Structure 1
Amino acid sequence: MLFHAFVASLLLTSTTAAVVKVCPVKPTGCSLDNLQIAGLPASLPAPTQPLSYVSVAIGTQNYTCSAEGKYASAGAVAELFDITCLSGSKLFDTIPDRLMDLWKDAPASMTADSLASMFYPGKNNAVLGQHYFVPNPSGQGLSPVWDFTSTGRNSGKKNAYVLAARAGGAPAPTGAQDVDWLVLSSVSGGLAKEVYRTDTREGQPPASCTPGSPPIQVKYASKYWLYGGSVSQTTKK
């Protein structure tokens, strides 16, 4: 009950009220013009395609314990929400922190989707889709997918997904507790040609584990920027 009261009070603050003011119920009319990744590490290439979507995500980074007593990545699961209409507001920069604070304090029974629906007025219009991993087409390992085919305004568009491969990574500028910033290139799907993960918050596993330990899920938040592709939101100036 205390957590739900905290969320309710947050929604009434002037900062969060900017969501209502800056991001109207139907966010599809907001422009992507002038939106750029801030603080991109020099080791990562700059985007070469026009921006199609910018989102905030909350979810979990998943890990299994190896025979050597080290955690190995087993993919991730996250919900993605449109933040295009927050462009130019302070909340655009701070929203990963705000959602991460809520996500860390959320009851164990609360999912990322239900938390975000409390934070976002008109969530059904702000939702973009899901991020998850599938077996790699080569049969080796896992591949990340951003899937907008079944939720939000792209629901029903069979090509509104991208399966991608890592093209580069860099340690998060905010510290070792946060998962790396990444750039990924499309393998299949029409949603994007390039995907960037930035502004990461947490998600790193413990330094060691006991072999045979069960898999773990570590909460995280980030921004995902999708560039290029043939499935784009409608934007207006």
Structure 2
Amino acid sequence: MLAFLLAPSLLSALITCTAAAAVCKPNKDTCKLDGLSIEGLPSTLPVPTLPLSYVAAAIGVQNYTCSAAGNYSSIGAVAELYDISCLGGSKLFTTIQDRLMGLWEDAPNGLTAQKLVSSYTQTKANTVLGDHYFVPNPSGKGGLSPKWDFTSTGSTKRNKNAFVIVEKVGGATAPTGKQDVDWLATKSVSGGLAGLVYRTDTRQGQPPASCVPGQSPNIQVKYASKYWFFGGSVHHK
């Protein structure tokens, strides 16, 4: 609980301005995407061919249901995304997902990622980019598709095109271990936010190995990651 009580100032330091990390609050002059790229990209994922538009850290939950086969299957995810472009070139950029995961794990039961974010980012340098969740497949073929939605906050607020719905084009086991959800490459099927979205640097998020069909309830598993947005017509400011 002590870690949680200290979290507001720590979270602000992690994402906004900290002299120790030599980073600054977001503005058009100091927060650059130049030189930022995915490190350690597995060979099974395609190399991005579009320019980087946004880079974010996220905390949220992976959602699962118990299948008839006795294992958990994914039914989507919900997450909040922070702008971390201003951390580029600092050691904190490399470790931000670990630090956020620590805060997220220490948060009391019942506190959502959205409430955590809204409680700790009421600053002049609001770093929330938007939300990640799943929607019905826009093709009408059934199932769910990942969506990133930047239409409700920051410089893209009320921009109806500041979203992207994607389909998977590649995946790779997390190099950090089986407890972490896969790294992913996806491409846009709708929206102007990005042409490609990658999930990397994942922490946690995997479900238990087995469940009891008809008895085990749906579960939510906390996770953190980085998300990279390439291309699109809605750009970082």
What TM-score does the superposition give when structure 1 sets the normalisation length? 0.90
Match of 1:6 in 2: 6
Render the CA deviation track for 1:61-97: whole Å, top value 9, x for unaligned: 0000011111000000000010000011111010100
Match of 2:83 in 1: 82
Match of 1:224 in 2: 227
Q: Which runs of 4+ in 1 moved over 6 A?
A: 12-16
Judging by fraction of residues, say which structure has more helix: 1
* Distance in 2 of aligned mates of 1:79 and 1:220: 11
Match of 1:191 in 2: 193
Check 1:230–1:121 CA distance in 2 against 1; reply closer, same or farther (3 A cut). same
Please report how far the alpha carbon of residue 119 of structure 1 lies from its aligned counterpart in structure 2 after TM superposition: 5.5
* Distance in 1 of aligned mates of 2:157 and 2:208: 37
Aligned partner letter, 2:228? W
Aligned partner letter, 1:145? K
What TM-score does the superposition give when structure 2 sets the normalisation length? 0.90
Check 1:122–1:45 CA distance in 2 against 1; reply closer, same or farther (3 A cut). same
Match of 2:206 in 1: 204
Render the CA deviation track for 1:166-213: whole Å, top value 9, x for unaligned: 000000010100000000000010000000000000000000001122
Q: What pairs up with 1:92-131 in 2 under 5 angstroms? A: 92-117=93-118, 122=123, 125-131=126-132
* Distance in 2 of aligned mates of 1:12 and 1:165: 33
Check 1:61–1:19 CA distance in 2 against 1; reply closer, same or farther (3 A cut). farther
Corresponding residue SS for 1:125: coil
Please report how far the alpha carbon of residue 110 of structure 1 lies from its aligned counterpart in structure 2 after TM superposition: 1.7
Match of 1:70 in 2: 71
Q: What pairs up with 1:21-100 in 2 under 5 angstroms? A: 22-24=23-25, 26-29=26-29, 30-100=31-101
Asked if the contact 1:183–1:197 (Cα under 8 Å) also holds between the matched residues in 2, the reply is yes
* Distance in 1 of aligned mates of 2:9 and 2:149: 32
Corresponding residue SS for 1:95: helix
Match of 2:168 in 1: 166
**Consecutive unaligned residues in structure 2, runs of 5 or more:** none
Please report how far the alpha carbon of residue 105 of structure 1 lies from its aligned counterpart in structure 2 after TM superposition: 1.2
Aligned partner letter, 1:6? L
How large is the Cα RMSD of the aligned pairs? 2.3
Kindly indicate whether residue 175 of structure 2 is the aligned counterpart of residue 177 of structure 1: no
Question: Equivalent pairs: percent with the same residue?
Answer: 63
**Consecutive unaligned residues in structure 1, runs of 5 or more:** none
* Distance in 1 of aligned mates of 2:43 and 2:14: 36
